[in-house]
Structure 1
């Protein structure tokens, strides 16, 4: 009878684990699991990796330690059991410098409550960074989809930032930075000493693509044909290889606007590559972090396989497998 009760207990616990969206925390001294993102961040030691499976998670406290949060991706894929979604804002406080956030859909914003240094946000879909909070410095935004704006500073500009291979409506308030291989649906502004290179600008309502800026290097960007003159009200110190396009139908293989849609293909048409060879280095499919051809960025999706309860040692064994997203 005792053996039967023990067996039923193990089966119940195993079933409970199987039904939960378990979060793995891995680090130099940490190797455990949590049931909520808040619990995982509380458990994590500085520098630990937190692996989120597909599903919905929330976290309301300010993040005050260096953590690396990795999800399955911001869009369903072949090797994903549902995308990872974090509901609400992720608020960054003192101590969050050096953190990494990768592979999830954030329903709201990243909010810096103090000057934040050396963070990396990769392969995330988010509203962005709102204005009037604090500065973000020496940080990377790579393969991201921003649904609203990236305000990287306030009246004091952020500095040393890189926005690379991302889809962004508006970027502002940074200096000594680089904006490269992005699709920018609206404009950029309030910049100083920034290199703007190999981007595609989609704004057609007017031609003010760059405003209230200084010391801007504007090189090899694709902009509307009607904006080849008059696209900036200030700040250009170096300009080269402007490439004009007529309509969006003459630019991309398959897209009806400049915002993210998993059904769009933002590869450039052969016709524009034939007439403007320099266009080959423009957009999200070129540069140092190209998106996968005809697809989303490659995302290190996390599969939790071969997990089991070791009842004798009272531990739960969790193997984490990393696989690439294929579509």
Structure 2
């Protein structure tokens, strides 16, 4: 823990002023610690990394390598605007693409300006055992159909949709905010628990709704007020909140102890079909008694991975800083920084 703390502290301190160079730290159990501060620091750190290494990204915008094709752990400073006032949010510009050698990859605490790929576009490969946690991105894309990707976990993220997931199997989605559906994406053998789906039914819109095949969906909230929700078959829906009295859930669904409410009764403060940091995704008192399969509440604040407000990553986090405007007679600058070690 002390090593992680010192590395995170050094990296995050590199963003103390707007003009500071963005120092990317690479920690390797075999090669020690290296620092990179050129314009291509992220790519340089990636190229120097070996399997099992950890990269710490400070706040600011970083250009990624074209493909992440090795097993690494990457921590950013977070993406929530209120939690990153001292560090600035960590942004990865463009797409993040995981290659077939990225099994076991872990990414946490970053904002991705485009889509997240498990497998290179136009290819058919398997990417397994990946964890994506407390990140924000566009669409999740898992291209291909033959070399299936297994055992991937998506935890406490905000993203637009599972745009193409036919190559994804035996993977889990815990406590995410998922903005929309894509009925053309066939989702098979997935476990989805304690998510909030913001999809709103739009008549004639080809990307509306979801196609769940043989999936298990527990303790989720679907704010969709239209009837069309799932076009798949043989999925289990258990202890979910639906904002429609008779949602269409595909062919031969198994329904267990679901709740049917009006949208105005469910979330404290949420409108529309887009994500907003200003919205409040807690349950209203009228919905809080609708418990999930594990006895905790439905939605993102229940389950085994209860939503962490402000989406702060699990590495130590700078919460405030004060820097004197000038040096003293000895040429020193007074710097006061408050750092909180995270427990999850």
Structure 1 and Structure 2 fold alike (TM over 0.5): yes
What's the counterpart of residue 94 of structure 1? 100
Relative distance call for 1:88 and 1:235 in structure 2 (3 A) is: farther
Whether 2:249 is the aligned partner of 1:232: answer: yes
Relative distance call for 1:208 and 1:184 in structure 2 (3 A) is: same
CA deviation map 1:156-209 (0-9, x unaligned): x421100110011237433332001000122663333211000000122x3111
Q: CA deviation at 1:299?
A: 2.0
- Structure of greater Rg: 1
TM score, norm. by length of structure 2: 0.74
Whether 2:23 is the aligned partner of 1:27: answer: no
In 1, are the aligned partners of 2:26 and 2:53 still within 8 Å (CA)? yes
In 2: Cα distance, 1:289 partner to 1:298 partner: 14
In 1, are the aligned partners of 2:109 and 2:312 still within 8 Å (CA)? no
What's the counterpart of residue 316 of structure 1? none
- 1:14-163 paired onto structure 2 within 5 Å: 19-30=20-31, 31-35=33-37, 36-78=41-83, 80-111=86-117, 112-113=119-120, 114-130=125-141, 132-133=143-144, 135-147=148-160, 149-151=161-163, 153-154=165-166, 157-163=167-173
Structure 2 residue corresponding to 1:253, chosen from 251, 262, 268: 268
127-136 or 194-203: bigger deviation: 127-136
- 1:172-321 paired onto structure 2 within 5 Å: 172-186=185-199, 189-204=210-225, 206-211=226-231, 213-224=232-243, 227-236=244-253, 238-247=254-263, 249-274=264-289, 276=290, 281-292=297-308, 295-302=309-316
In 2, are the aligned partners of 1:84 and 1:104 still within 8 Å (CA)? yes
Relative distance call for 1:76 and 1:99 in structure 2 (3 A) is: same
In 1: Cα distance, 2:252 partner to 2:132 partner: 28
Relative distance call for 1:130 and 1:94 in structure 2 (3 A) is: closer
Bigger fraction of residues in strand: 1
Bigger fraction of residues in helix: 1
Q: How many residues align?
A: 283
Secondary structure (helix, strand or coil) at the match of 2:228 reads coil
TM score, norm. by length of structure 1: 0.78
Relative distance call for 1:258 and 1:301 in structure 2 (3 A) is: farther
Relative distance call for 1:286 and 1:177 in structure 2 (3 A) is: same
In 1, are the aligned partners of 2:58 and 2:77 still within 8 Å (CA)? yes
Structure 2 residue corresponding to 1:166, chosen from 153, 163, 176: 176
CA deviation map 1:39-98 (0-9, x unaligned): 111011101110001110011421111111110111134464111000000112121111
In 1: Cα distance, 2:340 partner to 2:102 partner: 25
Segments of 5+ residues of structure 2 without an aligned counterpart are 1-18, 200-207, 322-338
Q: Which runs of 4+ in 1 moved over 6 A?
A: none
In 1, are the aligned partners of 2:170 and 2:189 still within 8 Å (CA)? yes
